[in-house]
Amino acid sequence: MPLATVTVHRWRDADPVLLGIMLLSLSLNAWQLTWGLPNGNLSWAADGIGPVTALSVARRTFAGFNSGWFYFKYPPAWPFLMVIASLPYLAVLYLTGGWRHPAADYPYGFSQPEHALFVLAMIGRLLALAFGVGIVAVAYGIAQRLYDRATARWAAFFTATAYPIIYYSHTTNLDISYCFWLLLALYAAIAASRTAAPRAWAVLGVAAAMALATKEQGFAWLLPLPFFAWYGRVRSDGWRALWSRPTWVMAGAGLLTLLLANNALINPLGFVGRIAYLLGHPLSHIDARLAPVEFALWKGSKECVYVAHTWNGLSSSFGLVLLLVAALGALLSWRRPGAALWLLTPSVALYYLSLRGLELITLRYVMPISVIGCIWLGVALSALMRLGQRGVPRLVVQGSAALLALLALARAIEADWLLTADARYQAEAWMGANLAPDAQAEVYQKLSFLPRFGDRVRVVEVPIEARTIDGIATRQPDAIVTSSASYKSINETWAPDWRETRTLLKPDPAASAFLTALEGGQLPYHVAATFRQEPRLITNRITSVAPEIRIYVRNP
């Protein structure tokens, strides 16, 4: 059959409902995409990768052969993708003289740094937006292969309206791409289990490698996938399927992608050094705290803590009503045990082998499991709609489905509203109107949790050893600005080696006394303004969303 005919048939087979849902996802993800920008290399999204940070990671890891340098925070795949997406704009800047001499310090070699950094940040966010819409399409594909088109449509809709997907599509955090690669690997494994054609197996290898090169945390999700795929082929082709051409295609594509995405061909020592660092055995001294990673088959009372963390993340992602419906869908999914195992096994493996190894399970860590929950919602809604064909009044069935869909859409709209009406915008306006020109404001938290100060206010980041009652009396700033996000960082520091203290944070006595005095009105400062948002439908568990901003000013 000619290629043109094949292409036409594929477009004819495309589900118009899916296209509409993807358009909805695009709209929700694009609304207020400029949230918190321009802001130099900073972002209001905690752990967002700034454009200069991405460029720095690429430059340093490619600086020389086998330099041993690695980015301690994350693998390099997401910064690499950000740089690749930015190359056309950087080329234009270079050719027009806007970026001829790159530098490590501000203005980083840009002739118009604020404009250039804004455009680069937006390119990164557009890339994240594309991954967010891609997750919707992959969720549809998984549900369609395991169940049917009706289930797939509902799964895509609930994924498109999931507030974690919407939020992380607005940021340059790597989590949205990490989630996409994990789900694409699952989809490819399902497809590979049903065919010996090498393409699905190659996609499985590439997607798995990209997931690991984006965030190693996903290794547990990936572990069962090739075994499930092999099981399907062994049933069809016998044991020879284990060493057949598709297996070698998967292994080759995955290994090559892993080496390229980690730059291990040019900097193998850096790749090995990062793995050793994650395992708690750095090859040399690293001026960064060790990640709190420790696996055990059973952790006693901590198991309840991990369950509570996971419940908080999932209940925030869905809300109680939708979470209960998703749980019902998980039960109904066992009508097809094979399909249920495809969804449940990687989720359980991720939780038990990976997330339990951490001291804190945050909402973004359970985002891949949340998408599986959206598929289970699709299972439940599809079953509900079938009740209308079995004697249950159609108005009741359709009304119940419509209410659940409206609830999900309302939560999505509220997620965008939280970004549009961010309290930091109000705090910025208040400072511009009420603080004197060139006023000095002290801060004790990361700037990503705080309002932008601009040129009117001189912001001073005070180290924890200077956060004392005597210190504030000596400095006498005009204002103090705090955020409810990461509030503990005002008077607590990260333990350099959690294995010695068995805790992530340790309080500083002098800083704690200072914070108590500030909150108790014992210092010559009073609360002049407080800005907050009160979401109605979302129980927010994302630190960067809707923080309360409090502004203290010095008493007359």
DSSP-assigned states of every residue in 492-518:
EEE-S-HHHHSSSEEE-HHHHHHHHHH
* Residue at 429: amino acid letter: A
> 């990640």: which residue's tokens?
291
- Above 90 in pLDDT, residue 506? no
Model pTM score: 0.94
Rounded mean pLDDT of 303-331?
96
**How many angstroms separate the Cα of 185 from the Cα of each of 207, 219, 297, 381, 451?**
5, 11, 26, 25, 39
pLDDT score, position 498 = 56
Query: In angstroms, rounded to a whole number, what is the distance separating the alpha carbons of residues 254 and 456?
Result: 51
Query: In angstroms, rounded to a whole number, what is the distance separating the alpha carbons of residues 263 and 53?
Result: 17
- DSSP H helical ranges for 388-508: 394-420, 423-434, 469-475, 498-501
Q: Which of 9-23, 42-56, 72-86, 191-205 has the lowest mean pLDDT?
A: 9-23
Query: In angstroms, rounded to a whole number, what is the distance separating the alpha carbons of residues 492 and 506?
Result: 5
Rounded mean pLDDT of 273-296?
77
pLDDT score, position 7 = 41
pLDDT score, position 6 = 38
* Residue at 234: amino acid letter: V
pLDDT score, position 149 = 96
% of the chain at pLDDT higher than 90: 79
Contact criterion met (CB below 8 Å) for 374 and 367:
no
Cα angle at 542 between 539 and 546, to 5 degrees? Answer: 75
Query: In angstroms, rounded to a whole number, what is the distance separating the alpha carbons of residues 415 and 301?
Result: 34
Residue 502 burial (C-beta neighbours within 10 Å; 0-12, 13-18, 19+): exposed
pLDDT score, position 1 = 44
Q: Which residues of 525-536 are buried (b: 16+ CB within 10 A; e: fewer)?
A: beebbebebeee
263-279: pLDDT as tens digits:
999 999 999 999 988 88
Rounded mean pLDDT of 346-371?
95
Residue 294 burial (C-beta neighbours within 10 Å; 0-12, 13-18, 19+): middle
**How many angstroms separate the Cα of 164 from the Cα of each of 22, 316, 544?**
16, 9, 12
pLDDT score, position 359 = 81
pLDDT score, position 291 = 64
pLDDT score, position 8 = 44
215-268: pLDDT as tens digits:
999 999 999 999 999 998 888 878 877 888 899 999 999 999 999 999 999 999
**How many angstroms separate the Cα of 209 from the Cα of each of 222, 322, 493?**
9, 33, 34
Query: With bands split at pLDDT 50, 70 and 90, how would you rate the model's confidence at 287?
Result: low
Query: In angstroms, rounded to a whole number, what is the distance separating the alpha carbons of residues 346 and 81?
Result: 26
Rounded mean pLDDT of 40-66?
93
191-215: pLDDT as tens digits:
999 998 999 999 999 999 999 999 9
pLDDT score, position 383 = 95
pLDDT score, position 535 = 95
Contact criterion met (CB below 8 Å) for 214 and 75:
yes
pLDDT score, position 196 = 87
Query: With bands split at pLDDT 50, 70 and 90, how would you rate the model's confidence at 289?
Result: low
CA atoms within 13 A on the CB side of 361: 24
Rounded mean pLDDT of 508-533?
96
* Residue at 236: amino acid letter: S
- DSSP H helical ranges for 449-491: 469-475
DSSP bridge pairs for 482: 550
Q: What is the mean pLDDT of the chain?
A: 92
